[in-house]
Structures are given as C-alpha cells and as structure tokens.
Amino acid sequence: MEKRIKDVVCRVWLKNETKNSVEKDGKVYYFCSPKCKAKFEKEPDKYVPLKG
C-alpha cells in the first residue's frame, strides 16, 4: 500500500516523502516544492491546526 502525504500549504497529495521537509513540534511536514516549504517556514501556525 502506497503512503500518501498531503502538502499542508497547497494541499496536493504527494506519493513519497521529499527532501522539502520541516519538523515542527515533533512532526515532519513534507512539501511539493521549496516554495511551499518557504511559505510554511514563514507562517507555520497558519497551516498547522492548533492543538488543545
């Protein structure tokens, strides 16, 4: 079974983990491009739901 990962910025489905990734609060987020990764790094709370 194929592991599917969603880019939280542009919301596209990725077939594989990519080198464009960021770890936040113990979770790794993967991105389709360096552009989406940069957007996430600039405003991560905009893309990650609040816990609690």
Name the residue ranges covered by the structural domains of the chain.
5-47
pLDDT at 34: 97
**Residue from 25, 26, 27, 31 nearest 13 by CA:** 31
pLDDT at 1: 55
pLDDT at 29: 96
pLDDT at 51: 57
Predicted model pTM: 0.84
pLDDT at 7: 96
End-to-end CA distance of the chain: give it in Å, rounded: 32
pLDDT per position as a tens digit, 8-41: 999 999 998 889 999 999 999 999 999 999 999 9
